[in-house]
């Protein structure tokens, strides 16, 4: 599998916006989370993400074809990172692309002490993916509507996790 992450910029906004909408539309139709679902956002929101000084938006290339994106954010002055959002075209989901993308991102940001993300609790495949990748359910939940709950995950990276364990002894 050939996956490459390329930094996106404003000239990519149209293509990324179309992929974002197509990727999140099945979830919008299923959960009716009209106020929070990225399929319902305007292109301006994506452009803000592209230009965020505390983040980088990457195009996910699979065999040289644009199939999705991942947005990485960080808290100023820390090594704490967040994935928000990550999306892959429906026809490319279930092929290991998201898992490989997360591995690449974690390697890119090897000094990260922690990673955070949120996903829809009712989407068991998403939760399974993140848990398999070492992300731990924080216990925080946010009800979006009667159909949808966001669940929050955090992953402590090895160096910090080892240090934390030794402090407990």
pLDDT at 158 over 80: no
* pLDDT band at residue 1 using 50, 70 and 90 as cut-offs: confident
> Does pLDDT of 168 surpass 50?
no
The answer to whether 59 touches 10, Cβ cutoff 8 Å, is no
CA atoms within a 13 Å half-sphere pointing along the CA-CB vector of 28: 14
Q: Which two tokens stand for residue 121?
A: 């609790």
Give the chain's count of helices (H) and strands (E). Answer: 5, 7
pLDDT digits (tens, 9 = 90+) for 83-127: 999 999 999 999 999 999 999 999 999 999 999 999 999 999 999
CATH value at residue 66: 3.40.630.30
Q: Which domain holds residue 64?
A: 3-90+97-168
Say what the pLDDT of residue 159 is: 55
pLDDT of residue 129: 97
12-29: per-residue pLDDT in tens? 999 999 999 999 999 999
Residue 160 has pLDDT above 90, yes or no: no
Could you tell me the pLDDT band of residue 69, with boundaries at 50, 70 and 90?
Answer: very high
- Whether the model clears a pTM of 0.85, i.e. scores above it, the answer is yes
Is 165's pLDDT higher than 90? no
Quickly state the pLDDT bin for 166 (edges 50, 70, 90).
Answer: very low
Average pLDDT, the chain: 93
- Report the domain count for the chain: 1
User: Residue 139: enclosing H or E segment and its boundaries?
Assistant: strand 136-145
DSSP state of 2: -
């Amino acid at each position: 599998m050939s996956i490459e992450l390329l930094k996106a910029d404003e000239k990519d906004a149209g293509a990324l916006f179309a992929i974002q909408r197509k990727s999140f539309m099945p979830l919008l139709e299923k959960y009716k989370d009209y106020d929070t679902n990225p399929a319902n956002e305007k292109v301006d929101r994506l452009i803000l993400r592209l230009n965020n000084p505390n983040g980088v938006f990457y195009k996910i290339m699979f065999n040289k074809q644009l199939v999705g994106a991942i947005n990485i954010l960080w808290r100023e002055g820390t090594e704490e990172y967040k994935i928000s959002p990550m999306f892959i075209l429906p026809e490319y989901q279930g092929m290991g692309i998201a898992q490989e993308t997360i591995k690449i991102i974690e390697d890119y940001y090897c000094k990260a002490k922690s990673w955070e993300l949120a996903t829809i609790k009712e989407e068991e495949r998403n939760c399974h993916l993140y848990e398999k990748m070492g992300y731990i359910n924080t216990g925080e939940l946010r009800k979006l509507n009667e159909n949808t709950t966001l669940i929050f995950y955090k992953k402590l990276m090895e160096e910090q996790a080892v240090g934390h364990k030794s402090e407990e002894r």
